[in-house]
Amino acid sequence: MDRPRIIVTAVVLALLGAIVPIVAMFHFSWVLALQEEHDRLALFANLAIARADISLRDATEALREIDRFASDRCSDGHIARMRQLTINTRAIEEMGYFENGLLKCTSWGPTEGSVAQTAPDFTTRDGVAVTARMLPLANHDHPLMALRYKDHNVLVDPVRFVDVIVDPGIQLALATNQGILLGTLNGPDSARIGRIIAGPGKGLDDGHLFATARGADWIAVASEPESQIVDSVRRQRLLLLPLGAFIAAFAIGTVVWLSRRRLSPLRELQIAVRKREFIVHYQPIVELRTGRCIGAEALVRWRRPDGSLVRPDLFIPLAEESGLIAAITDQVVAHVVLDLNRLLVANRSLHIAINLGPADVETARILPVIEKALQHTGIRPRQIWLEATERGFVNIDSARSTLIRARELGHAVAIDDFGTGYSSLSHLEGLPLDALKIDKSFIDTIATNSATSSVTPHIIDMAKTLKLKIVAEGVETQAQADYLLERDVDYGQGWLFAKPMPAAEFIAYYGKMKQSA
């Protein structure tokens, strides 16, 4: 994934990380507030059931009590006892006695006229016949509930069954298990109550939240307008939004952290290694005396997916520090074989120099890699020069062992960028080297009055003493080339001769130089 896509993805994820938790908290605050309100409504509905059961129990006990009364029915004593039970039982409005199906007397006294028993709507488990709604003789505008046990009945105001203290805005309704509405508190709509009773235990109907409770004989419904939930939602949001903000901040922080990791130089380099984004350019090495091209140095380049090239000095140090240089070197070896196989087989005097990282110089890991890469290609080991910088000689014994093994395999070995590290003449004398490359920083001082201009001839003399081939790097002017030629430097490399170039251009360059030689 390239940088623009990573940035776009990070921005999208960051926005989602900021928005989703907040939206989720808004949603959860509504869900939790809804659950809280439903639980509260269910509590009131259960209180209504409990209140209805108490009223039914009290009325039933009064009926059983009067049934056990031993005096003659409708006598003064019987009527007085009915009146006493009516007064003492909060749920009862009136008590009466039926004989042969007709009302004979009530707690108010003997009755006149013919009042017949009504057919009950249902009978409780205790044997009490219940008529949900009937009109008493005294008040035809206020229906009451009739409860009958054997020959006695009581009239109960349905409000007594829902006589519960509720919060403002709460509406209660009580119905039989058969769906007959018995009583209401705070006036809920009967049609809505009918739908609720026939539906689920809680929910939202016609702008009202509701919850139901079911008892042995009753169904209670508690409801409230949906607007009543606003305060609860606000309270939940006050609790949840800080959590949402924390989650959003954490999500954004995580995205930023991951993006930075993804966009960090090391992460980008890891991706480049995995995707094999490295290519090789070849800078010719020429013989100063004849101008003939005798080889080239393989210089790694990082080509991004957009085609841009990253300079080696921007990623090689990081690659060496992170250990990725080994994988990059392996890719360089593979490119050299793929790019120049035919050219090297056709021109045995031509060589390609490959740079080794300090770890490879110390461990010799690269040698079997090169050996395997050259198998069945026809390329000879002596056509592959190995260049090691002075930084690879920290462990001089391990370095010596690696270079000895490299020469045994047939490779020529050169010390690269000489003079920029800490190699001494004694170190060089103990190492199996074939060539020494003078760093460009010393070539730049030729014919100048800089403090280091006198170092270059000393390096040349040192290499000659050790009988090493000398390659001057970074030759850019004819004056530099003439100076080096005067001092019998063998080879030159630099923009005076040719810049680093892709394989196809190098092959064409070599062919042209060979024809003109």
DSSP code string of 474-486: ---SHHHHHHHHH
> What percent of the chain is helix, strand and coil (3-state, nearest 5)?
50, 25, 30
- Determine the number of helices (DSSP H) and then strands (DSSP E) in the chain: 15, 21
Task: Please name each of the domains of the chain with its CATH number.
Answer: 3-226 (no CATH), 278-300+336-516 (3.20.20.450)
Q: What is residue 116's DSSP assignment?
A: B
Cα 334 from Cα 300, distance rounded (Å): 12
- From first CA to last CA, the distance across the chain in angstroms is 48
Query: Taking residues 292-318, what's their average pLDDT?
Result: 91
pLDDT at 1: 46
Q: Is the pLDDT of residue 393 over 90?
A: no
State the amino acid at position 24 in one-letter form: A
Query: Taking residues 320-331, what's their average pLDDT?
Result: 93
Query: Taking residues 229-258, what's their average pLDDT?
Result: 62
Work out the angle at residue 392's Cα, subtended by the Cα atoms of residues 386 and 396, and round it to the nearest 5 degrees: 105
Counted residue by residue, the chain has a size of: 517
pLDDT category of residue 295 using cuts at 50, 70 and 90: very high
pLDDT at 2: 56
Cα-Cα-Cα-Cα dihedral of 234, 37, 166, 163, to 10°? 170
Q: What residues pair up with 104 in beta bridges, in sequence order? A: none
Q: Is the pLDDT of residue 477 over 70?
A: yes
Cα 201 from Cα 39, distance rounded (Å): 11
CB 185 within 8 A of CB 159: yes
Contacts of 244 (CB under 8 A, 6+ apart): 21, 22, 24, 25, 26
Using the structure block, give the residue that is written with the tokens 């170092």: 455
Give 344-376 pLDDT, tens digit per residue. Answer: 999 999 999 999 998 999 999 999 999 999 999
State the amino acid at position 343 in one-letter form: L
Q: What residues pair up with 129 in beta bridges, in sequence order? A: 123, 148
What is the helix (H) or strand (E) element at residue 414, kind and residue range? strand 412-418
What is the helix (H) or strand (E) element at residue 512, kind and residue range? helix 503-516
Q: Is the pLDDT of residue 422 over 50?
A: no
Report the SS3 class of residue 43.
helix
Q: Please tell me the number of Cα atoms within 13 Å of 486 on its side-chain side.
A: 9
pLDDT category of residue 254 using cuts at 50, 70 and 90: low
pTM, entire model: 0.57
pLDDT category of residue 332 using cuts at 50, 70 and 90: very high
Give 173-225 pLDDT, tens digit per residue. Answer: 888 877 788 778 887 777 787 788 777 778 888 788 888 888 888 888 888 88
Longest Cα–Cα distance in the chain: 152
**Of 197-201, 202-206, 337-341, 445-449, which has the strongest mean pLDDT?**
337-341
From residue 49, alpha-carbon distances to 46, 176, 469 in Å are 5, 11, 107
- Mean residue pLDDT across the chain: 84
Tokens describing residue 104: 């004979």
